[in-house]
Amino acid sequence: MNPAIFFDLLFYTVSHTEQCSLSYMVSVLSSEFGIHIKKQSLHERFTEKSVVYVKLVLSEVLSEQFASLYSNALLPDFMRIRIKDSTKFKVPSSLSANYKSCGGGDASISIQYEYDLKSGKIIDLNITSGNRNDRTDAEETSADVASGDLMIRDLGYFSTKVLEKWMKEGAFFLSRLDCSTLVYDDAGNKVSFGHIFKSMKKNGMTEKEICVYIGEKRRVPVRLILQLVPDQVYEKRIREKTQKSKGQGRGQLKEETKIRCRLNLFITNVDETILPGKQIFPLYRLRWQIELHFKVWKSVFKINTLHQMKEHRYITLLYIKLILLMINLQIIYSVQQSLVQPKKEQIKVISLNKSLKTLKTRFHQIFAIFRGTVRKAKEIAEGLQKRLLQNHWLESKKKKLCLPEILALLIGVPEK
């Protein structure tokens, strides 16, 4: 069995079954490829070499990305709009040696995922141990930035050291501000969020912006954008932080922490002329698209449901699932590109959830694109595009700014 057939077997297997048992794979080898092999012999094929092999295939898939989502129509002052997050899930105990959980206990895996919102290209897709936190990832990958990049991250990646490094490289950021980071004004005095909150309430303000310095040692200059949150959001934050504080053996919450919980706090080094305050909150909401990706990965492609097996087989099959996902995403992004026409009154958006559900049932067509001729691949891709354009639209949610509306705001397309 050569490497190409081995890959095709794995690709076929993850597309047709969630559990990926050796019995099933042996049966597929016999029925689809005419190769007869025992389960033990196949079991022995899963080694460190098989992991390296599929990782190289994934790298090749990522290097050959062709799709473009919104291009320069979306915030043209930035080269890339980089959104990154991670997802964690428990894995069989057989992986506990190299894939430890945070705080010990069961084994778990973390997948670091980053993509460019402008082009749709995946920048980072990496499987790590579950106990490797996001801040560590931010510090270890801080050099992987280019001038003109806009980095959008959540609090897990927050580090003033990393922010300062990005600024030196000519990159930009949009981030939440954590509750423990010290904030100073131009005179070097600590900013009182209590005074700011009272002033906003007194003057009937829901949003405010000031220029400040963050961090006790580094004093990084940023724009601080504040937004009052509803009482129910504040109460939820207090409950969660109180519970976390008790779990860590700490005392009661500080008054400063409680006050900050009343506000959404965002920081950026982008000039107001390029990114006005009114665009900050909608732009940051686009980060939640990556949460949707993770949700669909788990619900549709079941990346977190492989059963007990040896580590090398598990990791090999997980990478194959990610390869299949990336190919499907590229198909969806290429369809989305054809819909982005700023001259129109509204931007239509393809539903990721609906599209991946449909593409999952079209394995043989996906496989033909991967293995067929260029001409055949083009014909199949056009057929899939027509299918996705029929009834795979993203539906708007009541009382919430939906993705097409956010894009219209950032691209400058007039809404109906």
Closest to 83 measured CA to CA, from 139, 171, 153, 167: 153
To the question of pTM greater than 0.95 for the whole model, the response is: no
Kindly report which listed range (109-118, 141-150, 248-257, 262-271) carries the lowest average pLDDT score.
Answer: 248-257
Which distant-in-sequence residues (6+ apart) come within 8 Å of 333 by Cβ?
67, 68, 69, 120
Q: How many CA atoms lie within 13 A of 416 on its CB side?
A: 6
Q: Quick one: tokens of 288?
A: 């939640």
Question: Residue 415 has what pLDDT?
Answer: 46
Task: Please check whether residue 160 is in contact with residue 212, taking contact to mean a CB–CB distance below 8 angstroms.
Answer: no
Report the greatest alpha carbon distance in the chain: 78
Kindly report which listed range (52-56, 205-209, 391-395) carries the lowest average pLDDT score.
Answer: 391-395
User: Rounded distance, CA 301 to CA 315, Å?
Assistant: 15
Question: Residue 368 has what pLDDT?
Answer: 78
Residue extents of the structural domains in the chain: 155-286
- 352-400 pLDDT, tens digit per residue, is 888 888 888 888 887 777 676 778 777 887 888 888 888 887 776 655 6
The answer on pLDDT for 146 being more than 80 is: yes
- 281-309 pLDDT, tens digit per residue, is 889 988 888 888 899 899 988 899 888 89
Angle at 163 between CA 161 and CA 167, to 5 degrees: 115
